[in-house]
Structure 1
Amino acid sequence: MKCLRVYATEDGETHFDEVDIPTVARQVHPEAAIFDVSARYASTHISFTRIPAGAGLVDWHTVPRRSLTVRLSGSAEYQTSDGDRRHVPTGGFILFEDTHGKGHRTLHSPEEQTVIWISLPQGLDRA
């Protein structure tokens, strides 16, 4: 399973990458189909955010801590300092690790949005 990632290099530039989240096929219930399930990852806290309709552009910023966000509604376009842009639709998720440097820009879709923020003490590539 792939997860979009934003990270900063030592020189402060931000970039996109993908983290491969390994999964194994597992029978989670005798009457259910086989699921692909990842390892468990530690988190320090979770929060829910309602972004109002018309929020628009949030200019260059970093995140206060490594966070995995899950978009329950709405979408956003993200831009890193190297000029790359990526669209994350409803249901998409992205790992933010740009806690320093130039950060990223976020352009929110026009409608109200709901996003879950999960703080991770380590990245998804390190269980």
Structure 2
Amino acid sequence: MKIIRINQSENGGSQFSDHDWTLEEGSFTPPSPAGYATTPEMRAEGVLMMHHPAGYGDDWHTAPAIVLGTVLRGAVRIQTSDMDTRILQAGDQFLACDLNGKGHRMFEVNDGPYDLALVVLKEAPTEETFVQ
């Protein structure tokens, strides 16, 4: 499974990095049969669902906390301060870790609304959480 991470850069900006989750044999719902995989467990503080209407665009902002996001519906364009842009669609995940500096901004795509599921994490996932 892939995830896009939004990182703080040393110059006060932000940039993307691409990662794959580290997966291990699933044991989250015993006695489920073998054959599924999970990431290492991450501690969360809260969960919220976010709706953005058609025509929505926001200005530069930092993440208020480490946030794991999943696009539920529609498509969103995310831009980092180095002007790199990614378009995420339903099922895509991102990890916002840019807590300081210029941050990032987000826009709807194709004049359509988009919905996000956001999990506020207690801390950033460790490097072991990602395939090296």
Q: Does the TM-score normalized on the shorter chain lie above 0.5?
A: yes
* Paired position in structure 1 for 2:78: 78
- Does 2:111 correspond to 1:104? no
Q: Residues of 2 paired with 1:125 and 1:88: CA distance?
A: 23
RMSD: 1.8
Give the number of the structure whose residues are more often strand, by fraction.
1
* Paired position in structure 2 for 1:51: 52
Q: Structure 1 regions of 5+ residues with no counterpart?
A: none
- Does 2:58 correspond to 1:65? no
Q: What amino acid sits opposite 1:23 in the alignment?
A: L
Q: Structure 2 regions of 5+ residues with no counterpart?
A: none
Q: Residues of 1 paired with 2:11 and 2:98: CA distance?
A: 12
Number of residue pairs aligned between Structure 1 and Structure 2: 124
Using the TM superposition, give the Cα deviation of residue 19 of structure 1 relative to its aligned residue in structure 2, in angstroms.
Answer: 3.3
Specify whether residues 26 and 118 from structure 1 end up closer, same or farther in structure 2 by C-alpha distance, changes over 3 A only. Answer: closer
Q: Residues of 2 paired with 1:125 and 1:19: CA distance?
A: 12
Specify whether residues 123 and 19 from structure 1 end up closer, same or farther in structure 2 by C-alpha distance, changes over 3 A only. Answer: farther
Q: Aligned residues: percent identity?
A: 28
Using the TM superposition, give the Cα deviation of residue 37 of structure 1 relative to its aligned residue in structure 2, in angstroms.
Answer: 1.4
* Contact 1:19 1:124 (8 Å CA) reproduced: no
